[in-house]
């Protein structure tokens, strides 16, 4: 036993030194935790559980829970919103536990349950923001069982504290909402959420304080007709209609607003808009020029998910390259300033979602989605994987590894923002995503207005070594996974 302990410690040390993303969970096929075996057998017999119909697509980490969403594209999905308890004894292929319960995931119970969930987001106020698209099935056989609704849960009590049904004006006949980004302001009440309407080509803003939503339309939300051809996992297919998909909010700028970065799925171009515009319902019309072109990531850079760190470094999935990419928002967005943070031509086939938790650990889920949708998965093989890595380690050695500027300001900070001038307690340090006061809202924006050629050389492509898990073997001093020690 002691020999095994030292062997595992040695393997962990080697893995920590050479590999970035560490595989922590993997599944050939998903399964669920039932209260007892009788109920599970009953679910199998009635078709309430058909394991081969389940595909995980979204993740989010909050303290000792790792949330996993499973859309109801086919029958036999007992729960669309689930979690893995991170503080439980380690299992490499854990069963999913419904959140908040099986009853809270009942198909078609629009008032009390969740029908189909894709993306989820936790905030600093211990709330979980969950969008229920209300659909059952997959195109072209989709049934709208329930209306689009935002469901927000208190993570400390596991109780839903708000359900908001989107207005008819927010939805069009082709609406398919793909992602959520949060814009957390100066208080828990001062929180906005943004939702990307992939097939309806819109962006929906929601104010927690006003409990109201409104919809923006823009040509930048539409797909690029020149890059609708995809080649993933040996499959060639066309997703030419896929519009605005990945969205991420920057750190707060000196003016008190963030920048929302976005891109269509069928596109290699990044766009942006200040949340000063999105927060103002009156800007729904007349704000065309407030949306900006940031730049191009280069060819084969379709992305389904993106997230920005407090230092202004954006991470995003690169589904064409079986990789996670990065970009520092202090640099012009162009191919030579894009880096491959990690790549795995087996394990990272279709990295569906990427998140950064409160401890600045990066979580990635891959699920071979095109194979699931366009062909057939081999359930004798590993199909779904979840990885984790510290943010600093993931971008180490890339063009994204740039120290974040910290601007120290007095308590009586004078800024050109009525919103901040009324605050009695202003942080003495504000982290900025760039060297200008605030992207998009300042008179000078080096990331969008200019095309400065960087002298930073192209970064090498990284090849992963065989997957090893980041978990500590039992000992008297440490029986917790490392990520639980830095919430």
- pLDDT surpasses 50 at 418: no
Sheet strands side by side (includes 361-366): 22-27, 384-390, 361-366, 351-356
Q: d(Cα 195, Cα 273) in Å, to the nearest integer?
A: 14
Residue 226: pLDDT band (50, 70, 90) is confident
381-394: b (≥16 Cβ within 10 Å) or e: ebbbbbbbbbbebb
What are the residues whose beta carbons fall under 8 Å from the beta carbon of 214, sequence distance 6 or more?
Answer: 169, 170, 204, 205, 281, 284
Q: pLDDT at position 235, please? A: 77
Residue scoring higher pLDDT (403 or 48): 48
Is a pLDDT exceeding 50 seen at residue 435?
no
Residue in this structure with the two tokens 């935002």, named with its chain if needed: 150
Report CA-CA distances (Å) from 386 to 56, 66, 293, 308, 467.
10, 10, 33, 19, 11
Q: Is the dihedral of CA 296, 301, 302, 306 positive or negative?
A: negative
- 244, 201 contact by CB (below 8 A): yes
Rounded Cα distance between 191 and 189, Å, is 6
pLDDT at 423 over 50: no
Question: Is residue 480 within 8 Å of residue 472, measured between CB atoms?
Answer: yes
Residue 402: inside a domain: no
Q: How many CB atoms lie within 10 A of CB 450?
A: 9
With respect to residue 148, please indicate whether it lies within any of the assigned structural domains. Answer: yes
pLDDT higher for 254 or 458?
254
| pLDDT beyond 50 at 430 | no
Average pLDDT over residues 337-346: 95
Q: Using DSSP bridges, classify how beta strands 269-274 and 292-296 pair: parallel, antiparallel or unpaired.
A: antiparallel
Tell how strand 149-154 and strand 159-165 pair up. antiparallel
Q: Does a structural domain hold residue 172? A: no
User: Which pairs count as long-range contacts for 444-449, CB under 8 Å and 24+ apart, including other chains?
Assistant: 445/292, 446/332, 447/294, 447/295, 447/329, 447/330, 447/331, 447/332, 447/333, 448/272, 448/292, 448/293, 448/294, 448/295
Q: Could you tell me if residue 175 is inside a domain?
A: no
Give me the pLDDT at residue 374, please. 82
Q: Which of 224, 148, 156 is nearest to 193 (CA)?
A: 148
- The answer as to whether 283 is a domain residue is no
Q: What are 351-390's pLDDT values in tens digits?
A: 999 999 999 999 999 999 888 988 899 999 999 999 999 9
Quote the domain boundaries for residue 155.
29-165
| Number of folded domains that form the chain | 1
Task: Considering only residues 1 and 221, tell me which one the structure prediction assigns the higher pLDDT.
Answer: 221
* Higher pLDDT among residues 408 and 250, named by residue: 250
pLDDT of residue 319: 85
Who has greater pLDDT, 220 or 475?
A: 220
pLDDT value at 479 more than 60: no
Question: Does residue 96 lie within any of the structural domains?
Answer: yes
Read off the pLDDT of residues 14-69 as tens digits, 9 standing for 90 and up: 334 346 999 999 999 999 999 999 999 999 999 999 999 999 999 999 999 999 99
Residue 67 inside a domain? The answer is yes
> What number of other Cβ atoms are within 10 A of residue 480's Cβ?
12
pLDDT at site 413: 27
Whole-number Å distance between alpha carbons of 385 and 26: 4
**Integer angstrom CA distances of residue 185 from 64, 190, 212, 247, 435:** 25, 5, 16, 18, 21
Of 246-255, 362-371, 453-462, the range with the lowest mean pLDDT is 453-462
Cβ(32)–Cβ(477) below 8 Å: no
For residue 272, the model assigns a pLDDT of 98
Q: Is the pLDDT of residue 84 over 90?
A: yes
The answer to whether 481 and 86 are in contact (CB under 8 A) is yes
C-beta separation of 117 from 71 below 8 A: yes
CB atoms within 10 A of CB 188: 14
Residues 265, 68, 61, CA angle at the centre, nearest 5°? 95
Position 200 pLDDT exceeds 80: yes
Task: Report the greatest alpha carbon distance in the chain.
Answer: 69
pLDDT of residue 404: 47
- Total residues found in the chain within this entry: 487
Identify whether 110 is part of a domain.
yes
């Amino acid at each position: 036993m002691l020999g095994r302990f030292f062997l595992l410690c040695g393997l962990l040390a080697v893995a920590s030194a050479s590999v970035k993303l560490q595989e922590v969970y993997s599944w050939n096929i998903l399964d669920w935790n039932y209260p007892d075996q009788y109920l599970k057998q009953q679910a199998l017999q009635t078709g309430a559980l058909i394991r081969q119909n389940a595909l995980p697509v979204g993740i989010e980490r909050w303290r000792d829970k790792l949330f996993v969403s499973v859309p109801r594209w086919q029958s036999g999905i007992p729960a669309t919103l689930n979690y893995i308890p991170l503080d439980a004894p380690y299992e490499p292929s854990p069963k999913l536990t419904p959140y908040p319960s099986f009853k809270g995931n009942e198909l078609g119970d629009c008032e009390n349950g969740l029908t189909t969930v894709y993306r989820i987001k936790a905030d600093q106020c211990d709330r979980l923001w969950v969008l229920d698209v209300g659909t059952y099935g997959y195109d072209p056989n989709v049934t709208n069982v329930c209306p689009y609704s935002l469901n927000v849960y208190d993570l400390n009590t596991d109780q839903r504290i708000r359900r908001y049904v989107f207005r008819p004006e927010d939805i069009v006949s082709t609406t398919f909402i793909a992602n959520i980004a949060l814009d957390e302001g100066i208080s828990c009440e001062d929180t906005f959420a943004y939702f990307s309407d992939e097939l309806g080509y819109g962006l929906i803003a929601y104010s927690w304080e006003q409990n109201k939503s409104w919809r923006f339309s823009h040509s930048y939300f539409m797909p690029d007709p020149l890059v609708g051809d995809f080649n993933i996992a040996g499959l060639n297919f066309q997703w030419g209609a896929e519009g605005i998909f990945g969205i991420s909010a920057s750190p707060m700028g000196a003016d008190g607003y963030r920048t929302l970065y976005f891109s269509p799925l069928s596109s290699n171009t990044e766009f942006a808009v200040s949340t000063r515009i999105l927060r103002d319902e009156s800007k729904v019309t007349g704000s065309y020029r407030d949306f900006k072109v940031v730049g191009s990531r280069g060819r084969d850079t379709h992305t389904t998910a993106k997230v920005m760190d407090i230092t202004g470094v954006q991470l995003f999935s690169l589904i064409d390259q079986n990789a996670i990419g990065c970009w520092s928002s202090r640099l012009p967005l162009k191919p030579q300033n894009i880096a491959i943070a990690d790549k795995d031509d087996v394990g990272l086939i279709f990295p569906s979602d990427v998140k950064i938790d409160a401890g600045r650990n990066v979580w990635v889920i891959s699920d071979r989605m095109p194979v699931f949708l366009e062909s057939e998965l081999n359930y004798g093989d590993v199909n779904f994987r979840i990885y984790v890595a510290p943010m600093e380690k993931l971008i180490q050695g890339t063009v994204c590894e740039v120290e974040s500027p910290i601007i120290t300001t007095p308590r009586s900070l004078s800024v050109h923002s009525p919103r901040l001038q009324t605050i009695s307690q202003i942080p003495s340090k504000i982290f900025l995503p760039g060297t200008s006061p605030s992207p998009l809202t300042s008179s000078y924006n080096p990331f969008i207005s200019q095309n400065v050629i960087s002298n930073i050389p192209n970064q090498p492509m990284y090849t992963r070594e065989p997957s090893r898990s980041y978990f500590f073997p039992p000992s008297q001093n440490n029986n917790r996974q490392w990520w639980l020690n830095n919430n």
